[in-house]
Amino acid sequence: MSITKGILKINGARPEGCNPLPLFRDRRKHKSPKSNGTMLPEELAHFGYESAFRVLPYKMQDRYTRVKDELSLSTVVLENEHLRAEFLPEFGGRLYSLQEKPSGRELLYRNPVMQPANLAIRDAWFSGGIEWNIAQLGHTFTTCDDVFFASVGTGSIRDGKEEEFLRMYDYERTRGLAWQIDFHLPQGARSLTAHVTILNDQDHSVPMYWWTNIAVPEKAGSRVFSGTEDVLYIEPQSQAEGSEHCFGRGRLPHLPVLPGKDASYSLCFDYSSEYFFQNPMSDPAPWEAVSYTDGSVFCERSTQPLRIRKMFCWGSHPGGQRWCEYLATKEEGNYVEQGELVGYLSEPTKYYSVEGCNLYFQLLKDGEPVNPMEYMDS
């Protein structure tokens, strides 16, 4: 196991400072989301509690552009013989990449660019990897800010050297909380472990929000599932800007918001959508996973207090796809693995009946165009 510092070269636009004008908090302390009458009483008990907008003493990060230059971002790398985890300390400690070393396979969605957009509580947010969110609804205050990293000795000696783990930590100023995440990847381990500690040394309790936001590749046939089929979903008509969301309770695979389709397959959704797995209190290790048609599965699990899991997708509608392009690159397209079905050719129209069927696309390898016929089975 090793912990090293490095540099990531990436095209992108870095937020340049903060807006000096303060953005004041919502007059409300609590939001008031609605139910369509299907939610259970215990689910409504603290719904919207202490979730109204607030950002001070932090300032808004709205000073960025879409003009990309080559950036040199600091990284911290934790790795053993099986996994390589790459963190971005200048961007909230985002776990930018998690790679299975023997196969070279990237387990997360690894964004090829750094492009902020107005999607978080302080405005600037970027997609990809694993984001660690604390304290306030709306991602986190340090999405595009520095956090601290340190290597910490365990006291155990292996091969004449003290074993270490990686600690990420910071102080959250709106709630007055110290927090840290200890990442363990000892020799021989095939999974990355994160131990989260939140310290409140005040003489009163404070509301707490924690969300580990994981981005994974979305491919044809990919399916999301958890330890329960009971979910809360959002009524589509309540998702307009400025509206209070209206929630309903349903059971996978079929939800009222997606009639006639299996909602566990994210590509079935036309519009950006989300639902929340309601894992039972009796489950000692709640989990969520995504499976792929090649038989591979990405899975995460936690201890019991974090029992709720979420599925979010952008949807296939042009609006959702526009967001995908806006946060990444239009030219990137979707990755296709060997043996994966990319589509069908229909019978030619009368106009093309002599010439036959046509399929137009560009195939890139390592960023360079290649002859598709060398990579296709007849």
Q: CA dist 143 to 20, 95, 138, 220, 277, Å?
A: 18, 12, 10, 30, 25
Q: For residue range 104-159, what is the model confidence (pLDDT) as tens digits?
A: 999 999 999 999 999 889 999 999 999 999 988 888 999 999 999 999 988 777 77
Rounded Cα distance, 314 and 324, in Å: 7
Percent of the chain whose pLDDT exceeds 70 = 88
pLDDT band (50, 70, 90) for residue 162: confident
Residue range 200-205: mean pLDDT, rounded: 94
Q: Is the pLDDT of residue 252 over 90?
A: yes
Res 70: pLDDT:
95
Rounded Cα distance, 242 and 253, in Å: 30
Can you give the chain as a three-state secondary structure string? CEEEEEEEEEEECCCCCCCCCCCCCCCCCCCCCEECCCCCHHHHCCCCCCCCCCCCCCCCECCCCCCCEEEEEEEEEEECCCEEEEEECCCCCEEEEEEECCCCEECCCCCCEECCEEEECCEEECCCCEEEEECCCCCCCCCCCCCEEEEEEEEEEECCEEEEEEEEEEEECCCCEEEEEEEECCCCCCCCEEEEEEECCCCCCCCCCEEEEECCCCCCCCEEEECCCEEEEECHHHCCCCCCCEEEEEECCECCCCCCCCCCCHHHCCCCEEEEEECCCCCCCCEEEEECCCCCEEEEECCCCCCEEEEEECCCCHHHHHHHHHHCCCCCCCCCCCCCCCCCCCCCCHHHCCCCCCCCCCCEECCEECCHHHHCCC
Residue range 42-64: mean pLDDT, rounded: 89
Token pair for 277: 């797995």
Q: For residue range 324-339, what is the model confidence (pLDDT) as tens digits?
A: 888 998 655 454 545 5
Query: Which residue type is seen at 141?
Result: F
* Residue 203 burial class via C-beta count within 10 angstroms: exposed 0-12, middle 13-18, buried 19 and up: exposed
Q: CA dist 200 to 47, 50, 299, Å?
A: 23, 17, 30
Res 333: pLDDT:
47
Token pair for 93: 């400690």
Rounded Cα distance, 294 and 315, in Å: 22
Higher-pLDDT residue of 344 and 62 is 62
Res 245: pLDDT:
85
Q: CA dist 359 to 331, 339, 345, 347, 356, Å?
A: 18, 18, 7, 12, 10
Could you tell me how many residues make up the chain? 378
pLDDT band (50, 70, 90) for residue 367: low
Residue range 281-292: mean pLDDT, rounded: 95
- Measure CA of the first residue to CA of the last residue in the chain; give whole Å: 45
Phi-psi region of 339 (alpha: psi -120 to 50; beta: other; left: phi over 0): left
Long-range contacts of the stretch 349-358 (C-beta < 8 A, 24+)? none
pLDDT band (50, 70, 90) for residue 31: confident
pLDDT band (50, 70, 90) for residue 346: low
Res 186: pLDDT:
93
